[in-house]
């Protein structure tokens, strides 16, 4: 049972344009969401997070939007740069003290120069 889903395995975007990566979740107990970026042969690195008390969080070129009613979140990268080419994972957790983070399958983003 995949509780966190990233339905697009890959995405190609022109440099300078917007990249939109999507993530859906099924467990209504999740109230904290994170995005991670992974380059080949490296571990995932934290990018940005959002709690369920917000519907938007911004950090430079990266913005995460949360739609709780739809159980959907998205990561926007504007403008996209070739160095953003990587696999992006969405993760979900609860703040109730389980300390568990459940990941999606990832979306491979390719930014074309």
- Asked whether the CA dihedral 88, 73, 21, 27 is positive or negative, the reply is positive
Q: Looking at 12-20, 62-70, 76-84, 100-108, which segment touches other proteins (CB under 8 A)?
A: 100-108
| Interaction between residue 65 and other proteins (CB under 8 A) | no
Longest Cα–Cα distance in the chain: 43
9 or 16, CB closer to other proteins? 9
**DSSP letter assigned to residue 84:** G
Two tokens at 2?
Answer: 């995949």
Footprint on residues 1-60 left by other proteins (CB under 8 A): 2, 4, 9, 32, 34, 36, 41-46, 49, 51, 53
Q: For the sheet containing 72-77, what is the strand order?
A: 4-5, 19-25, 72-77, 62-67, 56-59
Q: Does 70 bind other proteins (CB under 8 A)?
A: no
List residues binding other proteins (CB under 8 A): 2, 4, 9, 32, 34, 36, 41-46, 49, 51, 53, 89, 91, 93, 95-97, 99-106
């Amino acid at each position: 049972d995949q509780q966190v889903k990233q339905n697009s395995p890959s995405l190609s975007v022109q440099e300078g344009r917007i990249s939109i990566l999507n993530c859906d979740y099924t467990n209504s107990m999740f109230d904290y969401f994170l995005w991670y970026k992974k380059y080949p042969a490296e571990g995932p690195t934290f990018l940005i997070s959002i709690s369920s008390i917000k519907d938007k969080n911004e950090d430079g070129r990266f913005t995460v939007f949360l739609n709780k009613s739809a159980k959907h979140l998205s990561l926007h990268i504007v403008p996209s740069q070739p160095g953003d080419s990587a696999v992006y994972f969405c993760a979900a957790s609860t703040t109730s003290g389980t300390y568990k983070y459940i990941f999606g399958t990832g979306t491979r983003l390719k930014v074309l120069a």
